[in-house]
Amino acid sequence: MIKNYASFIFLLVSTVVFSQEVYFASGKNYTKYNYKDANFQSNPNLQSGTGNFYEVGIVKSLVNKNILYSFGIALNEYNAIGGNSANSYRWDTEYLGLHGALLYQFYTHIVGSKNKIDFLAKARLNAATIIYGKQEINGMYYDLINENEFSGLILESSLGFMAKYQIASFGALSLGYNFGQSVNITNDSREKISFNTNQLQLGFHFNIN
């Protein structure tokens, strides 16, 4: 897996000179876990948790300037808290993944003589694996890396939108929102986990050519 990520990073760097845009984005994940135990019973005490995310990638035009595609790497924290009068617990996880997306620029607002704001819709698929995971139960910590419901391959599909303020001498700044649904496609145990994530992001975009 590490070799795969190293190869992808090399590919990303080697294609930058041919890219229309390089971007870095960061923000907050608000994640709601859906957990079912071996008896297919859900846990009503789980609450949404917050975490950070970081991603870097490139963007190119696909058909015309209004339809684009992007790909890159992302680090996401998917966390949750829970408990009742007898117990308290928390999940802290980090997933490293590769993602690809299609973007459609559906509206542009001109600001002054040189700048503009582009509004885009986005559909994305992210494939990721856990690189860090801890479960806390009443002050005791347990490793989640080797737990089937957390390890393996996670697929997240998401839809979102973005407003991007184009600055002629710089590139662009963006604000965006994504809603994603994730599922572990390699988990063959009876315990199942999926989760929904609301993501708020701030992005920095740099024109290459």
| Three-class SS of 117-129 | EEEEEEEEEEEEE
- Averaged pLDDT for residues 130-140: 91
Per DSSP, the three-state class of 144 is: coil
77: tokens are 């924290």
The whole-chain average pLDDT of the chain stands at: 87
pLDDT surpasses 60 at 3: no
Q: What is the pLDDT of residue 152?
A: 92
pLDDT surpasses 90 at 65: no
Which of 46-50, 118-122, 172-176 comes out lowest in average pLDDT? Answer: 46-50
Instruction: Tell me how far apart the alpha carbons of residues 103 and 81 are, in angstroms, rounded to a whole number.
Output: 33
pLDDT band at 6; cut points 50, 70, 90: low
pLDDT surpasses 60 at 68: yes
Q: What is the pLDDT of residue 7?
A: 52
- Averaged pLDDT for residues 52-60: 94
Instruction: Tell me how far apart the alpha carbons of residues 59 and 124 are, in angstroms, rounded to a whole number.
Output: 13
93: tokens are 């996880």
HSE of 134 in the Cβ direction (CA atoms, 13 Å)? Answer: 7
Q: What is the pTM of this model?
A: 0.86
